[in-house]
Structure 1
Amino acid sequence: MLKGKQSWLFESQPSIISTGVSGGPFEANGNLANDFDILHEDLWMGQDSYEKAHRVLIEEAAQTAIQKGNLQKDQFQFFIAGDLINQITPTSFAARTLQLPYMGLFGACSTSMEGLALASFLINYQGANYILTGAASHNAAAEKQFRYPTEYGGQKPPTAQWTVTGAGVAVLAKNSGNAADPVTTSATIGKVIDMGITDPFNMGGAMAPAAADTITAHFNDLGRNADYYDLIVTGDLGRIGHETAMELLGKSNINLTEEKFKDCGMLIYKSDQPVQAGASGAGCSASVVYGHLLNEMKKGTYKKILVVATGALLSPLSFQQGESIPCIAHAVSIEMP
């Protein structure tokens, strides 16, 4: 049901009954390694290109989620997912392997919650019984497309972020009635916000206004405030964007503490890993949410969280033509029933 101007309330509360999370070698040395189902020793993953390795990540995460849910592929109505690479080809090629009805998404790093919001909407209105949804990214593939190939060894400024090599996929279903299964209760679809930033090495700063705008809209539409949630987590603003978002929210009288307001891009890696301002990538929020945060919810650490996945909607061509960076954020509330 529509609430306010840009939010949905999911009255049937679809259940996240299982997840699959895969990652690379850098993530295996990170802060949340124990929350991954599969971790690879190298970026190639037995393939002859990084893009093919990217596809493997998605296939593994999807197959793991299906297996953990004790389901068969023919029980699913849709696969809703995306990534960062040209024409989301890694996800589309994974969909070729999965052989499920497929809706490909490009919301950049906001794709994980865009997919979860749409999947929840479909199930809430009886458009499906089971949906696979997720997002993925691969560090070397993204570097090659958006910046410089890793072999080039280009230097980066402190505002830059490290693209996660990871995939997170969830199985969303009609309310299972199982108290151990988190449920989606609402979503807020963001607007494109562009503050004129043109620096592709400052994604966090570019995306922060979109995150603040969506959080504000979510509270206004649903008549909630920060006290409703145990945790509000952004997708991958990193240290620079996180600080900026906190400041912007404060100007709207939404004052959040560091304990209440966190960022997936600041959680996934250890403090001594050389990631500049933190992590990024479509696989960042997907792997942190579908791995670490849902595990913490099942342990009882959190009962209600708001996930605000942020995305920078640029392309190499738009950057080369001097365009600024349009950004977006989508929010989904996840609760323990």
Structure 2
Amino acid sequence: MSIYDISREQDYVKNSGGILGENELRSPSQLHSLVEETETRFISEKIFETVSLSSDSLFQRAVSILHTSYLDSASEHGFQYSQVTLVKNDIFLNEYKTFYQEKKASNYTHEELQETYGFLLFETENQAKLVCQRGLCVGSSAITTLGDPGKGVYISKYSDYLHARPWYHGKSGYVVIFNLIKGRVKFVSENYTTNYTSPSSGYDCHVAVNTNKFSHKTSHFRTFELNQYYLYELSGSTVIERPRQICPYVIVAFQYREPKKMAAPAHNHKSKLELKEDVLIYPWKGKLIIQGCLMCDITLWSSYGILVPKQLPHELDFKYVMKVSSLKNRLPEAAFRKQNYVEHKGLFRCHGVE
């Protein structure tokens, strides 16, 4: 993760309202006002139906949607799903169908009208149910890169990249799966200014022009940021508060358990993040702290083994910063040779360096 990414992630945390507490990053759709409403507004259980885990095919279908929507194949070994709740909001469903018919009458192509899925993460079941009851409305996101959050909504493309920070062992929550129609899509450059990009007339969705320019080396935050849909609906010059092309489908409860290593892909199926056939595992994962401030989560990836020359604490707390040129004067030249870190025999070559 670059310093630029870290700075944007900190801004994202600051702007998100702290819905999950000081050490937790809220999901894009969770604002502080939404939590207050959850505690005071009545949630109608008439539109929700809990599905039996053992007998209902809907549970299997919901889990299948989540699995096939992973960006990283290793996610299949990390997420455990325990409850599925069907959303039966007839108002939203009818509006969703009406949107489809109107766009079909406007000569939208089959591809533009094709139904897909989007995902949002919530900390509590009540927060998830409230959005399913009132709808996903403009002004509900802290993301700003693809369009003005006051004129549209953001929703994640992949079911395993739902917030800006990496998953950690024991994390639990609720994922809402939405049916959505992207409609006419415009690729836009990411905008990091406060002069937000407005919805584009004649289109229904913005996606990042760099949406496919990421790899396993890209930071979690950056990957999350690049894989958002920005959806909106215009009536002339008027912004519709709740875009009709998004309809809540099911709520799925989950818990995340840290997999021991990334799964080797099947012969005919590779992870979308994997660039070569080597199986990557991580010998260490932890947090980067600079002068008491949490900057980001770090994962060391390796294709050679799980051993490291020196055991590292879970939190790396740095108090001082040194230029690389100064560091080269203090450490042996061998410490900066790339081949010492990409060959088996070089794994412990710098073990004695303090």
TM-score (norm: length of structure 2):
0.24
Give the helix-richer structure, 1 or 2. 1
Does 1 or 2 have the higher relative contact order (CA < 8 Å, sep 6+)?
A: 1
